[in-house]
Amino acid sequence: MTLQTSGHVDGFTRDRLPSREQWPDFRFEAADLDYPARLNCGAELLDGAVAKGWGDRVAVYSPDRTLTYAELLEEANRLAHYLVDDLGIVPGNRVLLHGPNGIDLMLAWYAVLKAGAVAVTTMPMLRALELGKVIDKGQVAFALCDPALLDPVREAASAHPVLKRIECWGAGGALAIAMAGKPATFTNADTSRDDIALLAFTSGTTGHPKACAHFHSSVLAMADTFGRHTLAPESDEIYAGTPPFAFTFGLGAFVVFPARSGIAVALADRPGFEALCETVERYGVTTLFTAPMGYRALMGLWGNYDMGSVHKAVSAGESLPKATSDAVLEKTGIRLIDGIGATEMIHIFISASGSEIRPGATGLPVPGYEARVINEQGQDMPCGEVGRLAVRGPTGCLYLDDPRQADYVIDGWNITGDLYRRDEDGYFWYFSRADDLIVAAGYNIAGPEVEQALLTHEAVAECAVVGAPDEERGTIVKAFVVLKPDHDGDAAMIEALQAHVKAEIAPYKYPRAVEFLDALPKTQTGKVQRYRLR
């Protein structure tokens, strides 16, 4: 892969990519993808939708307003002008985007890309401490955020003064007023297909965030592989679901895939599965995206709403049990499309749809990707035997300035950290994670990060956090805690520790189960034996 001449004035991201020998083997030919050397994915998606004659089609439904593709383009252009003309953003600058799924966040993402900057979209639940790690890692100087979430961004900026400008979106605000006076057309930045378009953060097993850098070509590739071949979208489809835009699962489902196919997305006015059901009923949603835990929750609500428009549903974020797939089929008549993706790979790379689905199996490599099951020496495992999952295709892992790149990419293959077996028909069957990452309800949670939060509580002497099986959520975070003298391990203490963690880090990371021990199991050298706790 030959790097094109960068269109970035600020070369921070390209300068901090891994050395070339540590890159994955990007394989565009196998996916039949031939992107031009000069490529701006924001322009290709949004301007491209209008150029294809889809300007009058609805792009996004929401309780606040509904926008066509032409209207979405005009507003994104106005915001892009503001970013460039008023804030002085140049191609390559990183811009933090912090807010819930909504039209404002979607507009901000498009405007940042069209201006040639790098989008850094973050989970709305993140606290100042977590945002600070993102800001520091990406040296982020600009932020666009929801006014309701301004405080943690300001607090993070006070500790990381590299973030020098914060703007809030929303009707009636200064940003909205300034945008209204901007032109509805914009000259898109002249970026290359291998300029970095976005940084997606994942904590991994240690709690220290890894910035996954993805090219402009990678953003389109997720639509032109899984989006095109597995989802096979039809022009009258309407997408909806729960994953946030900050997860590349949600970014693909609700921003990239719809624009690439000229279809609509419907956004709820608040989080939660009741809100999702209301959205389905109100707009006639046809296609759902959520994690297995989400479908288990929806089964309890299905009969309370008119869900008859739904005929397709995608499950990702964690392994889909056959029992859940069968329960959804029995309740709704829909067989779930399962898939495994990774932030490092940008989206789903193994899946199956229609008659190719085998309940319990994740599926087959998405067209354009190759997958293997290997041993510790990198050799292929025989069919039926469990080993490490290795994958390559048109997207791949590029950690920004991070030695962990050497662990994820080996001999050009991306080693995902999942254990799988492959059957004689080429189907891949999930076994478990190969590391200490906790995958709960579709969220990746690092046990050490939760441990660090617990240890700041005055009553905690020692603790260890692992993933524990749970019938509803698949896996939950469980904390084993050794208390200091004169503290009682009772229900009140459990509630206090859970509330403390929620205040320190994103609430979804809190331990849903807490068990008190007199001592943690350790090796002779003092290392906690988490496998014994699991």
Distance of alpha carbon 421 from alpha carbon 350, whole angstroms: 13
Q: Dump pLDDT digits (tens) for 275-314.
A: 999 999 999 999 999 988 889 889 999 999 999 999 999 9
pLDDT of the residue at 431: 83
Q: Dump pLDDT digits (tens) for 177-190.
A: 999 999 999 999 99
- Which whole number is the average pLDDT over 239-250? 96
Q: How confident is the model at residue 207 (pLDDT cuts 50, 70, 90)?
A: low
Spatial CA neighbour of 108 closest among 245, 252, 257, 265: 245
Contact between 222 and 351 (Cβ < 8 Å): no
pLDDT of the residue at 469: 87
Q: Dump pLDDT digits (tens) for 370-379.
A: 999 999 999 9
Contact between 422 and 428 (Cβ < 8 Å): yes
Domains and CATH numbers, the chain: 231-335 (3.40.50.980), 437-533 (3.30.300.30)
H or E segment at 313?
A: strand 312-315
Cβ neighbours around 339 below 10 Å, total = 25
Distance of alpha carbon 450 from alpha carbon 501, whole angstroms: 7
Given a cut of 90, whether residue 56 has pLDDT beyond it is: yes
Distance of alpha carbon 460 from alpha carbon 495, whole angstroms: 13
Mean pLDDT of the chain: 94
- Which whole number is the average pLDDT over 49-76? 97
Residue 45 sits at φ, ψ, to 5 deg, of -75, -55
Percent of the chain whose predicted confidence (pLDDT) is above 70: 98
- Which whole number is the average pLDDT over 53-68? 97
Spatial CA neighbour of 171 closest among 121, 270, 122, 104: 104
Given a cut of 90, whether residue 265 has pLDDT beyond it is: yes
Q: How confident is the model at residue 394 (pLDDT cuts 50, 70, 90)?
A: very high
**Strand 337-341, strand 142-145: pairing:** unpaired
Given a cut of 90, whether residue 171 has pLDDT beyond it is: no
Q: Dump pLDDT digits (tens) for 425-467.
A: 999 999 877 777 788 877 888 887 898 899 899 999 889 999 9
In order of 40, 110, 162, 270, 459, the CA distances from 136 in angstroms are 26, 23, 8, 30, 31
Structure tokens at 174: 């200064």
Given a cut of 70, whether residue 103 has pLDDT beyond it is: yes
Contact between 205 and 446 (Cβ < 8 Å): yes
**Strand 142-145, strand 94-98: pairing:** parallel
Q: How confident is the model at residue 526 (pLDDT cuts 50, 70, 90)?
A: low
In order of 198, 401, 421, 488, 498, the CA distances from 316 in angstroms are 21, 28, 18, 40, 27
Give the SS3 label for residue 372.
strand
**Of the candidate ranges 211-220, 317-326, 492-501, the one whose mean pLDDT is the lowest:** 317-326
Contact between 157 and 180 (Cβ < 8 Å): no
Contact between 222 and 210 (Cβ < 8 Å): no
